[in-house]
Structure 1
């Protein structure tokens, strides 16, 4: 599963990533002086002298950024790349604090609410924690799954670590003792691509899966509250939808209690509204775009930021106008950032070209029974035809077979 271009946002701090680089700026400023650019290809690399288990050099990978996130206050920013590095930044002002190695390539990461640790989930199914206060400290293994992890989250009180894997499971573990499992949220029939703890109601969890559903849970009990069929919503909207798709992003807008859901490999964003009283999701609108959407994220004071595969307008802002979501004027978008994105278009275009989304995670199924039954029927038919075929005397034996002649001799014939 490769990584495409992406967005990260906290407060007014916005990061756009693609390939090995990211650009950070403020959504409230168009000043070029506020722009920070970092390239992972310049970061410290692991020595080529290290050997793997078979004596071969360790795979160095590329410098492509696989995942990134802000801490809760926005004071820290972390990313992992294809070279198995965890890079930690301070954001006020921007400064690289450390470059640490991880054991396996990571699929997701998150900060604890206290901002004392960053948790990374990897392809082997493990979650490691790395200290933020001691930025050069080694990682510590916290928990593991038997299959690839696709997302990790923490409860707002830091009591629980929530993990989602390829085998349709969501596990809720105690942070203080990760071997102690509080609950499983079971019901998805394909890999769980994204999970999200609702900030306005920290007992609720949203999850998306390759089974084309969005589900709402009370995660401490593992009880499912609602299941929304996204494929049915596409058909209702009269769209020519994909047969299989998963959500690559869940984002939440606290101001209107809106949930934004970006569909992987499709220019579609679903907007839902969460009713705090009934704890139910109501479908509001299906946003369509003329080109592929790489990522979306809500900003509390402004609306929905959309990063799209369009060089002329790589970053656009959507807001609800008269009850319907619409794109706003370009003047609302930091022109300095858009200018830099156009100038560095290769970093976005190159990362998107290598992205296969979640397609490779679907489990292949084989219908061996149909082939077996067909061959069995053919075999039985051949045996039936053989039994029904009349027997004829052997050539040169007009009186029949040897066995028949013996029978006639015994009767004195």
Structure 2
């Protein structure tokens, strides 16, 4: 999974097994972390009464599955396919604080606002709380779904933890007592793949789904405010490629809340939304940015510029600025050259993320089985056989009746001849 994000004055990108951090202000050497070099059995792994690890010893591929940055940018966490959770500190220089083992493979990470706690959602539907203050302490189970968790976020005041799963369900729970559920936001027809609470409107939640729609909720009540079909907004010709399902893979907002960018998987278009100050404040589609290649991930930096990681070996990273309601590539900024130079030595690792033909959401879509056609065909065949058998029996019965009638007539004729003689 390819990710681009911002942590303080660092641009961070993860591709395959590598985490790469580039400083935006000073000409410092980039920080590179390779998950394949991390310790195989992290210290502080939770054990049972017999001294066995509670985490499975199944060997993974070392690929980074999730990445999170704290609000201040001083903490960074990642988890890989080997169920390791690695916590970093970025100031005054990068250092690995701890490496812990998770119970199952993680799908989403998020820091609390206080930066004392890290939440990890996994493929089994559970959310664990991991202490940042005690970096060797094992995780504590907070809540669970009956389906795989795909996205997770927190309300700005850390009051609610919002989780979304494969079964189209968005759940709003109290962080301090997650067994208390505040609401559900229901309405998507496929898995929910992305969540975002708008910073300027802390009671609003945006959700993206595999059904190709984005919805706006008042999440405390579970009330849906708006919904958009992003495929219709793209206004592209109806070709076979466009008929393919395209999940919403990322929703991001600028620091001032003026711009919301929406990315759909394998679609080289970014749809922007803005705030419409009408009778009732709401979001409205405002502009589109056509990219030279499909985006792998996107985010906004602290200056409100759009950072895009592209599916291209030639131009894997681009920075866009909003100029009079139009987004244009800032090809001369210093940060772009620094990040591009830092990416060059790692082309081999990046190639595993670029040009991926298969969707990372493909296995999450519902599979519809059309067994009605085969049932009707078998039923028709059975009725036809029954009719044929009934016809045979009917013809056989008629033949027997005729034979019996002839025999009877012959017997009567014989009896009449004996009587006359």
Normalization by structure 2: what TM-score? 0.87
- Aligned-pair CA distance for 1:10: 3.1
Comparing 164-173 and 243-252, the one that deviates more: 243-252
What's the counterpart of residue 32 of structure 2?
37
- Aligned-pair CA distance for 1:388: 4.6
Whole-angstrom CA distance in 2 between matches of 1:194 and 1:22: 22
What's the counterpart of residue 265 of structure 1?
266
SS in 1 for 2:386: helix
1:61 aligns with 2:60: yes
Whole-angstrom CA distance in 1 between matches of 2:73 and 2:36: 24
What's the counterpart of residue 221 of structure 2?
221
SS in 1 for 2:158: coil
Whole-angstrom CA distance in 1 between matches of 2:116 and 2:395: 92
What's the counterpart of residue 250 of structure 1?
251
What's the counterpart of residue 173 of structure 1?
173
1:360 aligns with 2:357: no
1:320 aligns with 2:322: yes
Report if the CA contact (8 A) 2:108-2:150 is conserved: yes
- Aligned-pair CA distance for 1:216: 0.3
Greater RCO, CA 8 A, separation 6+: 1
What's the counterpart of residue 300 of structure 1?
302
Q: Aligned in 2, Cα 1:390/1:94: closer, same or farther, shift over 3 Å?
A: closer
Whole-angstrom CA distance in 1 between matches of 2:165 and 2:408: 80
Whole-angstrom CA distance in 2 between matches of 1:135 and 1:379: 68
SS in 1 for 2:333: helix
Whole-angstrom CA distance in 2 between matches of 1:145 and 1:60: 25
Deviations 1:259-312 (A, max 9, x none): 111111222211111346634221122222222311110113141011112233
SS in 2 for 1:62: coil
Q: Aligned in 2, Cα 1:28/1:237: closer, same or farther, shift over 3 Å?
A: farther
- Aligned-pair CA distance for 1:201: 0.9
Which ranges in structure 1 are unaligned for 5 or more consecutive residues?
Answer: none
Larger Rg: 2
What's the counterpart of residue 274 of structure 1?
275
What's the counterpart of residue 20 of structure 1?
17
Q: Aligned in 2, Cα 1:401/1:133: closer, same or farther, shift over 3 Å?
A: same
Report if the CA contact (8 A) 1:272-1:283 is conserved: yes
1:10 aligns with 2:7: yes
Deviations 1:371-390 (A, max 9, x none): 21232223323433454569
Whole-angstrom CA distance in 1 between matches of 2:378 and 2:189: 32
SS in 2 for 1:351: coil
How many matched pairs? Answer: 397
Report if the CA contact (8 A) 2:199-2:257 is conserved: no
Whole-angstrom CA distance in 2 between matches of 1:316 and 1:223: 37
Whole-angstrom CA distance in 2 between matches of 1:231 and 1:158: 34
Normalization by structure 1: what TM-score? 0.89
Report matched runs for 1:401-412 at 5 Å. 401=400, 404-405=403-404, 409=408
Whole-angstrom CA distance in 1 between matches of 2:126 and 2:151: 11
SS in 2 for 1:333: helix
The CA RMSD over aligned residues, in Å, is: 2.7
Whole-angstrom CA distance in 2 between matches of 1:368 and 1:354: 30
